[in-house]
Amino acid sequence: MKAIYWIVDYCYFFLGKVLMLVHTNPPKHYLGYVIKDKIPVILIPGISVKWGFLKHLGDSISHLGHPVYVISKLKFNLLDIPQSAKLIRETVDENHLKNAIIIGHSKGGIIGKYFLIHENKDNRVKGLIAIGSPFSGSKIVHHLRGIAFKELAPESKTIKDINSNRKANAKIISIMPEFDNHVWSEKKSYLDGALLNITFPVKGHHKIVFDQKSIEKIIELIEKFN
């Protein structure tokens, strides 16, 4: 049965790849049809994909009036996590954001936590919704090539760094699918001391960001930061 979950999940992975290739620039409504007092949202995708992978989620958030920011300079999200967090900081400063939240998928959630610890001294970003993020690392990267993947290993310097700081956890909602084929860790995406840890009835690391019921719940959770 798990083999079927993997196959279905990779169908969603390739759907996301198509979206990111077709949509190279964020739609105008991300910043053009904003309702006053709606929380600004910064979208951070997972490793090896561009912002467009999360377009389905971003569109749903935007249509409710939230300003949605993407960080095009991340490109395929292969930069190291500290450098990626600095790019978020650039976006916050350039757009004079206040009371924003980050929504990060997979590695995007790790970048988000690193940002909260190291780049958010003025609290311009008030929280993070992480989706399928390997906060304890993932052993799957031991089978993958590339320096960018090794940064997500359980023994990596970055994973140890973010786990040494639990204060930021109180600002994080960690969402996880009930079956995650990419987060190989005993704790999955569970985060000690998190604002919330929630398991969604979805099977698949990538499928969760396309599942409509999951998206609706994620949008509800944005209001937790109001």
pLDDT of residue 81: 98
* Contact present, 190 and 213 (Cβ < 8 Å): no
Q: How far is CA 145 from the centre of its chain?
A: 22
Assess whether pLDDT exceeds 90 at residue 1: no
pLDDT tens digits, residue range 9-63? 999 999 999 999 999 999 999 999 889 899 999 999 999 999 999 999 999 999 9
Residue 176 has a pLDDT of 98
Phi, psi of 183 (to 5 degrees): -95, 95
Parallel, antiparallel, or unpaired for β 172-179 and 100-105?
A: unpaired
* Phi, psi (rounded to 5 degrees) for 196: -150, 145
* Assigned architecture for domain 2-225: 3-Layer(aba) Sandwich (3.40)
> If residue 23 lies in a helix (H) or strand (E), which one and from where to where?
none
The Cα–Cα gap between 202 and 191 comes to 19
SS (H, E, C) 24-92: CCCCCHHHHCCCCCCCCEEEECCCCCCHHHHHHHHHHHHCCCCCEEECHHHCCCCCCHHHHHHHHHHHH
H or E segment and range at residue 117 = helix 107-118
Which pLDDT does position 22 carry in this prediction?
96
pLDDT at 43: 98
Segment holding 207, helix H or strand E: none
* Tally of residues, the chain: 226
Structure tokens at 104: 């990060």
Q: Mean pLDDT in the chain?
A: 96
Contact 181, 6 (CB under 8 A): yes
Phi, psi of 210 (to 5 degrees): -115, -20
Predicted pLDDT of residue 24: 94
CA pair distance 170, 54, nearest whole angstrom: 25
Please give the distance of CA 66 from its chain centroid, rounded to a whole number. 17
Sheet holding 196-203, edge to edge: 68-70, 41-44, 100-105, 125-131, 172-179, 196-203
Is the per-residue pLDDT at 97 higher than 90?
yes
pLDDT at 101 over 90: yes
**C-alpha neighbours within 13 Å on the C-beta side of residue 47:** 25
